[in-house]
């Protein structure tokens, strides 16, 4: 069993849903970023998603675009993200998913990426712009199920395609809550409930919902219909508002706790 599977099993026993927390690694700078993600892990995040900054994040809204730009400016690159992963892994068993566009991974080298991610202690990767049609070139050299490719389904995904995606899933499935970029507003829990239910017909892999979830009450609403909740832009907004604040890590820690409470 890999760390992600173990995590969902534990959560199931405790009758809790998963809090998946996303931040861009290196935002606002490598050091502060490390204290932020450490605080997230210590305050109840069940799965950590570490964003690899990219110059042209076409699937992201303004908040994550700006976080990516700050992290790049502060010198963060894929190797640095793996370094943060490696250090976190020394003190925490929280599953870590790398979150990236494909080009930085290609430039790093797909085989080297797989090897180095595993040795750093990462548990998987979500590549935003790598649909199943193209993902073979990344995963063809993967040897076992220790490292997962997290796949996405969207509200526009038709049912037969959902089946194809679900049947290839590993770790968990990421159900995008709305037709839009990250950080958009307007959750429709009835609609989302339908998508999740459809996906679950095709697989036993847990389904987490992300995009546009920002308050503990959103988290509670999604927890009622899915196996986990992904929060990204809301954390990034807090980082942006507290860039100069020395208490930034503990503020993020408290925010994490509030979300985690809503999953119970």
Enter the tokens of residue 261.
């409470």
Our answer to whether residue 60 is catalytic in this structure is yes
User: In a 10 Å sphere around its CB, with 0-12 CB exposed, 13-18 middle and 19+ buried, how is residue 169 labelled?
Assistant: buried
Enter the tokens of residue 228.
């986990």
Residue with Cβ nearer other proteins (30 or 132): 132
Per CB under 8 A, does 195 bind other proteins? no
| 143-172: contacts with other proteins (CB under 8 A) | 144-145, 148-149, 151-158, 161, 164-165, 167-168, 170
- Cβ count near 251 (within 10 Å): 16
Residue with Cβ nearer other proteins (164 or 251): 164
Among 8, 22, 108, 114, binds other proteins (CB under 8 A): 108
Among 87, 92, 106, 200, binds other proteins (CB under 8 A): 106
Per CB under 8 A, does 132 bind other proteins? yes
- Cβ count near 67 (within 10 Å): 29
Place of tokens 């700078």: 29
Per CB under 8 A, does 60 bind other proteins? yes
Our answer to whether residue 49 is catalytic in this structure is yes
Active-site residue identified among 5, 49, 116, 227: 49
Q: Which residues contact 60 (CB under 8 A, 6 or more apart)?
A: 68, 181, 182, 183
How do beta strands 207-210 and 228-231 pair?
A: parallel
Per CB under 8 A, does 131 bind other proteins? yes
Nearest CA-CA partner of 142 in 166, 123, 165: 123
Site of interaction with other proteins (CB under 8 A): 54-61, 65, 72, 77-78, 101-108, 128-137, 139-140, 142, 144-145, 148-149, 151-158, 161, 164-165, 167-168, 170, 176, 179-181, 184
Catalytically active residues are 49, 60
């Amino acid at each position: 069993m890999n760390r992600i599977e173990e995590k969902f099993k534990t959560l199931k026993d405790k009758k809790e849903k998963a809090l998946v927390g996303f931040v861009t690694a290196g935002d606002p700078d490598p050091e502060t970023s490390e204290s932020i993600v450490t605080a997230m892990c210590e305050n109840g995040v069940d799965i950590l998603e570490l964003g690899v900054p990219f110059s042209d994040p076409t699937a992201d809204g303004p908040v994550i675009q700006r976080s990516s730009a700050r992290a790049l400016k502060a010198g963060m690159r894929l190797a640095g993200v793996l370094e943060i992963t490696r250090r976190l892994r020394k003190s925490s068993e929280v599953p870590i998913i790398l979150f990236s566009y494909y080009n930085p991974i290609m430039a790093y080298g797909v085989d080297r990426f797989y090897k180095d991610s595993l040795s750093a202690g990462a548990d998987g990767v979500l590549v935003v712009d790598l649909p199943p049609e193209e993902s073979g070139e990344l995963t063809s050299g993967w040897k076992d199920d220790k490292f997962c490719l997290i796949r996405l389904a969207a509200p526009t995904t038709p049912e037969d395609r959902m089946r194809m995606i679900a049947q290839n899933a590993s770790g968990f499935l990421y159900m995008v809550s709305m037709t839009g970029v990250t950080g958009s507003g307007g959750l429709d829990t009835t609609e989302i409930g339908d998508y999740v239910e459809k996906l679950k017909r095709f697989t036993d892999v847990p389904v987490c919902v992300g995009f546009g979830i920002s308050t503990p009450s959103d988290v509670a609403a999604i927890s009622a219909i899915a196996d986990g909740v992904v929060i990204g832009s809301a954390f990034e907004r807090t980082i942006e508002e507290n860039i100069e604040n020395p208490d930034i890590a503990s503020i993020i820690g408290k925010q994490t706790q509030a979300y985690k409470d809503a999953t119970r």
